[in-house]
A and B are shown apart, each in its own frame.
Chain A
């Protein structure tokens, strides 16, 4: 068996122990071969990571499409509805008492905006603890949005990881830099990743803050019809806007 066949068997995952030892020997003997093999292994890691992203996105869509819709069609989760109704009623009373019936879009924004929690940094492990990614999310959690926003931008330029756009949009909103936030969310939504509907929710809020309730309305309606992220809150918002 020649070197090429050993490599082929390696990537097919069918290398025997004996073959693995032979491959190891060949790699030690031949620097150029070893270098090429390293690149091949890195390519494998890259392709696996791409596959991971696709699968993750598929699973979150499945979750949003199937299970959330199931809940609403089965009617077996009546407790949730009672709870949701209670919250809606509670909020409306609160709204009626404190805001009058005509809250401005900006007030509605303030009522609803909360930067999306960090679900990225907890998984950043095994690397060096001082990476820019960890620092940026640490800043984000501390509420240092200025520092976080800059870091997200730098990281996005370097890696092209699209969730960074989503978090950057959040940081910009928190900094009241609404127009920039709108641009960033819009560019994030050019592709659909795990944060797609979350991003649309925040874009809707940004439109409210920017006093463009009609733009927010369209987005919120879709959020509700898709039973997507925060759709119950979207329903409440819609009822107040319409």
Chain B
């Protein structure tokens, strides 16, 4: 067991923190998954997707409080994904199997969703914004930084200029979204 990063540290979206978790539990996950009829390549793919899912749930604030270790949480995602993969391949597997009962966690949070058409359009338009806008919106909406923190990190004059800049960026984005 490593000293796990806290949720606050993970919330900054720092990929180092996620890589560290990935490396720390990689072998243990491979060992765990050995009993299923999956190739090592598939298991690694699942494990990567599980760490990515952890990232998603932390960053979109679905995971607000940890009631277990990060490792336990991560493995619950992994088990869910193994189950999905086996079921997809029509391997005989039942949800009753004790391994796949992870009722301590909200399973709907482990499912993958595609972006909606509107979100795909939004992504396209976001890419056309200037660098300063992109950075600012990333800080606020992804990293969850406060206006005060953004002011310091990005060297704005004061909180009001951050606020004004943010509204301008959002206005641009909104206008681009009008067909």
Interface residues of A (CB under 8 A from B): 4, 8, 11-13, 36, 39-40, 42-52, 54-56, 58-60, 62-63, 67, 119, 122-127, 131, 133, 158-160
Residue in B26, B59, B114 whose beta carbon sits within 8 Å of that of A48 in the complex: B59
Q: Which of A36, A46, A51, A67 is close to B115, meaning CB atoms less than 8 Å apart?
A: A46
A13 to B65, CA, bound (A): 11
A-B contact pairs, 16 of them (CB 8 A): A11-B140, A13-B11, A13-B61, A13-B64, A39-B177, A43-B122, A44-B60, A47-B142, A51-B55, A52-B55, A62-B19, A62-B23, A67-B26, A125-B111, A127-B114, A158-B120
* Cβ distance A105 to chain B, nearest Cβ, rounded Å: 27
Cα–Cα, bound, A98→B51 (Å) = 46
Which residues in B have their C-beta under 8 angstroms from that of A4? Answer: 163
Q: Count A-B contacts at CB 8 Å.
A: 116
Residues of A within 8 A of B55 (CB): 48, 51-52, 55
Q: Which of B's residues lie within 8 Å of A, judged by CB?
A: 11, 13, 15, 18-19, 22-23, 26, 44-45, 48-49, 51-52, 55-56, 59-61, 64, 84-85, 88, 111-120, 122-124, 126, 137-138, 140-142, 144-147, 163, 170, 173-174, 177
What's the Cα separation between A44 and B119 when bound, in Å?
A: 10
- The CA of A68 and the CA of B120, in the complex, are separated in Å by 35
Residue contact B147 to A119, C-beta cutoff 8 Å:
no
Let me know if B56 and A48 touch, CB within 8 A: yes
In the complex, the chain B residue whose C-beta lies closest to that of A45 is B119
Asked if residues A42 and B119 are in contact (CB atoms below 8 Å), the reply is: yes
Complex CA–CA separation, A191 to B157 (angstroms): 37
